[in-house]
Chains A and B, each alone.
Chain A
Amino acid sequence: MHAVNKTAKTATEVSDADLIRESVSDPKVFGSLFDRHVDVIHGYISRRVGAPLAEELTAETFARAFARRESFVALHDGASPWLFGIATNLVHNARRAERRQLLAYGKAAAVSGDQPNEFDQAEARVDALRAAPRLVAALLVLDPGDRDALLLFAWQDLSYKEVGVALGIPTGTVASRINRSRRRLRASLGTDAVPDAEGTV
C-alpha cells in the first residue's frame, strides 16, 4: 500500500474482490479497502485484546493483508472474513492480553451490572453484565479455536460459512465448534464459578 490514498476509488459498487485485484497493479487502491473495513476490524480486535493493543494489531492486519493480496481468493463478495482471519491470527499472538481483557470485562461487569446506570438500562445489557463473570469464566477455558469461532459468530455476526473462511476450516467444523462452545457457556450459567485474577476458575 505504497501511499494509501484516501481518495482512491471508494465507490461502494466496486466489490472488495475487485479492489484487491486492482490493488495488485495499483497499490493505492488498497486504501479503499482499508477505509471500508478498518472500523469493524479495529472494533473486533479491541474487544478481544483491548484498545491499547488494537491500534497496532489493526494496522498489522492490513499490512499483512496488503502483502498477501495477490493470494486473496474471492470465496465471498466481501473481504471481511479474510481480514477477520488475519486479525484472529494476530489475536492468538496476544493470548495473555485476551485473557486479561476478558477478565477485565468480568470485573467491570460485576460492579456495573449490580448498579446499572441510565445508559445501561437495556435488559440484555443488564443481564449480560450480571452473567459476565460466569460467561468470562467459560470463555477462558474454551479451546482457542472454539473461542475464535464463537466470538466471530456472536460478536461480529459472521455466518458459519464466513467463520469457516476466516479460520480456514470447513463449515461443519465451525458448527461443531460453536455448538460445543455454546453448550459450555450454557453449562457455566448454571454455576457460580468466577475467575480469579489469574483466570483460574
Chain B
Amino acid sequence: MDDLELLKGLPGRIGPPDVETKERMRAVVEARSAVSRVRRPRRAATVGTLGIAAVIAAASLAAAIAVHPWTVDDPIALQGIADPGGPISSKADLEAVVAEFTPAIRLPDGGSFEVWVQRQESIPEEAGGSASSMIGSGLNRGIVVHGMVFVAQCQWGQRWLDASSGGDQTGTAQALRVVAGINDWFRSNAPDDDFGTSYLLDAMRNGDPVGVQSEENICGYTGSWGSTPAQQDTAAQGRLTFAAETAQRYLRNDGDTDTFSLAAAGNLAPDIDWTNSHLQPAPASPGAVFIGPSSGEGVTLVAASETGTQFCAVVTVAEVQRGTTTNDLSTVENADGTAVNATVHGPITCNPEGW
C-alpha cells in the first residue's frame, strides 16, 4: 500500500455537520457579512520571531549581498543576504548581524531594534515555537535579517497609525512609501507573505486605520508598543480598555455574558485581535484580547503585556472591574491528554487591584 493510500486512511474523516451546526455557522456568516470589514486572519503573535523560520526555509536567498545605507528613495536597501544560512551561535553573533544590517533597514525616527534583540536573546521555548528561532539552535543570518525587516514593518505601521490619528499626512505618506519598499523586497526574497505586508500596505493605501491596527496586533516584541515596561503595560491596558468598552456596549444592548463570542466581539471591534481557548497561539499572547469562559458574573477579558503581566477586566452592564490574573491561560488538553482545543479552563480569577 502506498503512502498516499495510507495518508487517506488516517483517522479524522467526518460526516457532514448536523443541521444545528450548519445553522450556527450560517448565522455567524450572516452576522459577519452585515459589516463591511472583515478582520484579518489571526496569525501567531510570535511571527516576528518564530514564523520567520518558515519563510526562510522556503526561500532560496541570493548569496550576493548589496547592503547600503537607507535613503528616502530606497526604503529597504537590502538586495540580498550574504551567507543567509550562517548560524547564530551566540548573543555576540546576533548583535553583530544586527549591527551589520541596521544601516540598510530604515526605522522611524526614534525606532530601535533593541526590544526585538532582547527578545531573541531571552526567548523561551514557547509552546508552538520553533527551535529555528533560538540562538545556537537553528537561528541564522537570514532569519535575523528577515526579523529585522519585520520589526521595521511593525514600527512603520505604528508610525502610520500615530500620524493618521494626528492628521499628519507627511508621516502617513512616508510610512506608506517605506512599507511599499518592504513589500517589494519581501516579494523578491521570500516566496510567502507570512508577515501580512500586502494587507498592511492595502490598509495604508486605503487610509484604513482599522486594517492597519489589525496588522499591528501581531507586532509583539518588536518595539512597536514601546521600549520600556511601563510603555508596554500601558499598551496592553489600552487594548483591554477598548475591549472592555466593546463588551460593555454588547451587554448594554441586551447581549448576554454567555454569548459574547469571537464572532460577536469581532463584529463590534474588528481591529481587536480577539481570541479564546479554541484559538492559537496561547490565549492572551501580547496583542490579543482573550475572552474567558463565562463565569456568570460578567465577561472576563485578559490582555497580556510583553512584560508578562496579564491584565484582566470583568465587564458587566454596570461596571468594569480591572485587575491582573496569574492563571495559566495556555491552551489545555482534555484530561486524557489527547484531545485538542477543549475549553476546560475554569473561571479566571481576576484580582481586582485595579490598574
A93 touches B41 (CB 8 A): yes
Partner pick for B44 among A49, A56, A95, A135, CB 8 A cutoff:
A95
**A90 in contact (CB, < 8 A):** yes
A129–B3 CB distance below 8 A: no
**Are B17 and A38 in contact (CB-based, < 8 A)?**
yes
Smallest CB-CB separation from B341: which chain A residue? A52
A164 to B343, CA, bound (A): 35
Chain B 192-227 per-residue mask, 1 if CB under 8 angstroms from chain A, else 0: 100000000000000000000000000000000000
Please judge, given known A-B contacts A27-B33, A52-B278, whether A154 and B7 are in contact too, CB under 8 Å: yes
**Number of B residues with CB within 8 Å of any CB on chain A:** 55
For B340, what are the chain A residues with a Cβ–Cβ distance below 8 Å? 49-50, 52, 97, 100-101, 104
**Nearest chain A residue, comparing its CB with the CB of B7:** A154
Contacts of B263 in A (CB 8 A): 56, 59
Residues of B within 8 A of A127 (CB): 1, 5-6, 9
B window 1-60: CB within 8 A of A = 1, 3-17, 21-22, 24-26, 28-30, 32-34, 37-38, 41-44, 54, 57-58
List of A residues within 8 angstroms of B253 by Cβ: none
In this assembly, does B127 line the interface, its C-beta being within 8 Å of a C-beta of chain A? yes
Interfacial residues of chain A within 74-133, with CB under 8 A of chain B in the complex:
89-90, 92-97, 99-101, 103-105, 107-109, 112, 122-125, 127-129, 131-132
Do the beta carbons of B4 and A59 come within 8 Å of each other? no
Asked whether B13 lies within 8 Å of A47 as measured between CB atoms, the reply is yes
* Contact residues in A for B342 (Cβ distance below 8 Å): 52
B279 at the interface (CB under 8 A from A): yes
Given A53-B341, A93-B44, A97-B340, A46:B12 Cβ within 8 A: yes
The reply on A13 being an interface residue by CB < 8 A is: no
Stretch at the interface among B62-70, B302-310, B331-339: B331-339
- A interface: dominant SS: helix
Q: Say yes or no for A160: interface residue by CB 8 A criterion.
A: no
- CA A73 to CA B331, docked complex, whole Å: 38
What residues of chain B lie closer than 8 Å to A125, measured between beta carbons? 9
Q: Is B264's CB within 8 Å of the partner chain A?
A: no
Q: Which B residue sits closest to A187, measured CB to CB?
A: B3
Q: Do B17 and A105 touch (CB < 8 A)?
A: no
> With A52-B278, A62-B25 in contact, do A2 and B43 touch (Cβ < 8 Å)?
no
Interface string of A117-156 (1 = CB under 8 A from B): 0000011110111011001100000011100001100110
With contacts A4-B26, A144-B54 known, what are 7 further pairs, Cβ within 8 A? A52-B341, A60-B28, A63-B33, A90-B41, A101-B340, A128-B9, A155-B8
Those 4 A-B pairs whose CB atoms lie nearest each other, nearest first: A128-B9, A63-B32, A1-B33, A59-B28
- Residue contacts A-B, CB under 8 angstroms, 21 given: A2-B33, A38-B17, A42-B25, A53-B278, A59-B25, A59-B32, A64-B38, A67-B32, A67-B38, A92-B41, A94-B279, A96-B280, A100-B333, A107-B338, A108-B338, A124-B9, A127-B6, A131-B6, A144-B54, A185-B7, A186-B3
